Amino acid sequence: MASTQTRSRSLPEKPSAEHLRKQAKDLARGEAIQLAAAQRRLAHEYGYRNWSELIRHVQSLSAAHEATREADEATGPTPLEAGPAFKSLWKRAVADLLELFEKLGFETMYGEDSKITTTRREI
């Protein structure tokens, strides 16, 4: 944004070009001004030089949000979002590792902070 305008409004986290268009129409009707003047005023209030600069920025943000959403859907939930199934799988994997350590001659100690420490037993 290469603007020297003072910003009196901030865009929401996920701005919508359609919402901005409705804001401009409402402003034009409410103040009995031309639509172009209302668009220009909104652009300035949001800190942009003109309407097209504001809309381009909002559309690029929308495209980025959509790409992120699609990527999230493609990769599936994170382990924390996976819930009980992941926790069960994780506990089983840890139990299997601890069993392997014991077979290899390691002693397992559980700390108060839930940390697991393994030390090699003397043979």
Pairing of the two strands 106-110 and 116-120: antiparallel
For the residues 101-107, what does the mean pLDDT come to?
A: 80
% of the chain beyond a pLDDT of 90 = 33
For the residues 26-37, what does the mean pLDDT come to?
A: 96
Q: Is residue 4's pLDDT more than 90?
A: no
Predicted TM-score (pTM) above 0.75: no
For the residues 73-93, what does the mean pLDDT come to?
A: 71
Q: Which residue has the tokens 């359609």?
A: 18
Provide the pLDDT confidence category of residue 113 given band limits of 50, 70 and 90: low
DSSP 39-81: HHHHHHHTT-SSHHHHHHHHHHHHHHHHHHHHHHHHH---HHH
Provide the pLDDT confidence category of residue 32 given band limits of 50, 70 and 90: very high
Provide the pLDDT confidence category of residue 50 given band limits of 50, 70 and 90: very high
